[in-house]
Copies of this chain bind each other. A is one copy, B any other.
Amino acid sequence: MSLESPSLIQAKAEAARTASRRLATTSSEQRAGVLLRLADLLEQRQAAILEANAEDVRAAEGVIDASSLQRLKLDSSKVAAMAQGVRAVAGLPDPLHRIQLRRDLDEGLELTRVACPLGVLCVVFESRPDALIQISALALKSGNAALLKGGSEARHSNAILLEAVQSALRDADLPETAIQGLGDRAAVAVLLQRPDLIDLVIPRGSRELVQSLQAATRIPVLGHADGVCHMVLDQAADTTMAVALVRDAKLQYPSACNAVETVLIHRGAAERLLPALVADLAPRGVELRGCAACRAIAPDLLPATDADWEAEYGAPILALKVVTDLDEALAHIRAHGSGHTEAIVTEDAEVAARFLAEVDAAGVFHNASTRFADGFRYGFGAEVGISTGRIHARGPVGLEGLLSYRYLLRGRGHRVEDYSGPGARSFIHKDKGAGAP
């Protein structure tokens, strides 16, 4: 049971829907104005924000693990970064009202397809309080309302950050109900049963969080549960490049979803590549687990078990497997990959082309680190999340993932009956320029 009654939760969602209609017709300047005001407020209120956060940190010390505590803890540079991030979102090109298609169906009968917000988002995130600011900025920039549930260990931080968002909305004469907090996970559970109230669920957090939300709702969930990414080292891989890319993909940020978990090494290059990998990674503290064929070449490796091929370590651990050929590598990826990001290292253009054509994943890379799979690195200016679903948005999702569209048709009394039967008019379907409204 939620501490909030179902009728209160419904009322919040309905107020969010009403606010979303208002947001949908706002100008780019109005929405950017809210964000610039929010950035100022974050800076002005920095002392109070850090105080509230300190209260959360005190209560959490010894209760949550060190890395969660690290994510929970704010300092002046994190607050400055938050404000900076909000200003960056404010400065992005306006995604709303853009004309995606403009076509004369007939003389005087013009069809346009215009970007519009999705409506109301339900966002669930874990200990990192800066997520509240980031997702609020993305929602408002794209004209969406959002109901937010943050981690309970960040409750004081989240409350003061939410108040800043709502202040900025009020100051811009927009409804503060556009961004609201939810009291607890039970409130989320109520909303997950209401596809009439919520258009998209966005989890930002652990695999368990994503899976629990996906299992509990028919509302679309944007994101990914698993990031089991592979790197294939082909027979024709350059040794130096292969080692450097595996090191980057594993160690640059081991807990990232786009970090590599399993390296598949072509049999014909294993004796060359495997010792080079071990020599580079073992001294850097990477725990290496290998198949039997790997251990025949590098006996110091720990034995890999079947569970290793499914593992998303989120840690400096790497599974290594020798494969007979590209077919076996592709089959392994089909069986164990999570559709996130898969990479091959090879100087053989034909092998690369086949890999790029055949692998079914959100990201398929040649001679590049899997860590590039990211909305900022792709140049989207913002990242809502990374989706491994095939419907709606796939891969790193920018503001575009928070949009739908409407078809507008402007006529002069045009009737369908004039386009059928003898002597019927014909459609001309003449495309004209698309772009800004």
Q: A409 contacts which chain B residues (CB < 8 A)?
A: 363-366, 368, 372-373
Complex: how many Å from CA A429 to CA B92?
14
Query: In the complex, which residues 372-422 of chain A have their Cβ closer than 8 Å to any Cβ of chain B?
Result: 372-373, 377-379, 390-392, 394-396, 404-417, 419-420
Distance between A324 CB and nearest chain B CB, rounded to angstroms: 20
- Contact partner of A118 (CB less than 8 A), chosen from B390, B407, B412, is B390
Cβ-defined contact, B378 with A105, below 8 A:
yes
Distance between A248 CB and nearest chain B CB, rounded to angstroms: 4
Cβ-defined contact, A406 with B362, below 8 A:
yes
A24 within 8 A of B: yes
Interface 1/0 per residue, A421-435 and B, CB below 8 Å:
000000101000000
* Complex copy number for this chain: 2
Q: A25 contacts which chain B residues (CB < 8 A)?
A: 357-358
Distance between A419 CB and nearest chain B CB, rounded to angstroms: 7
- Contact partner of A372 (CB less than 8 A), chosen from B247, B379, B414, is B414
Query: In the complex, which residues 242-270 of chain A have their Cβ closer than 8 Å to any Cβ of chain B?
Result: 244-245, 247-248, 252-253
Cβ-defined contact, A416 with B214, below 8 A:
no
Distance between A81 CB and nearest chain B CB, rounded to angstroms: 14
Cβ-defined contact, A367 with B24, below 8 A:
no
Of listed A392, A407, A409, A415, residue having the most chain B CB within 10 A: A409
A200 within 8 A of B: yes
A116 within 8 A of B: yes
A227 within 8 A of B: no
- Give 13 A-B contacts (CB < 8 Å), ordered by A residue: A24-B358, A105-B377, A109-B372, A118-B391, A119-B390, A199-B390, A199-B391, A217-B218, A360-B406, A364-B406, A364-B409, A366-B411, A379-B429
A332 within 8 A of B: no
Q: A105 contacts which chain B residues (CB < 8 A)?
A: 372, 377-379
- Contact partner of A413 (CB less than 8 A), chosen from B200, B238, B253, B378, is B238
Q: A24 contacts which chain B residues (CB < 8 A)?
A: 358, 360
Complex: how many Å from CA A377 to CA B253?
51
Q: How large is the interface on A (under 10, 10 to 19, 20 to 34, 35 or more residues)?
A: 35 or more
Q: A405 contacts which chain B residues (CB < 8 A)?
A: 394-395
Cβ-defined contact, B413 with A244, below 8 A:
yes
Cβ-defined contact, A411 with B367, below 8 A:
yes
Closest to A218 in B: B218
A207 within 8 A of B: no
Cβ-defined contact, A416 with B378, below 8 A:
no
- Contact partner of A378 (CB less than 8 A), chosen from B200, B391, B407, is B407
Complex: how many Å from CA A361 to CA B427?
24
Known contacts A21-B358, A364-B408, A404-B394, A371 near B238 by CB under 8 Å: no
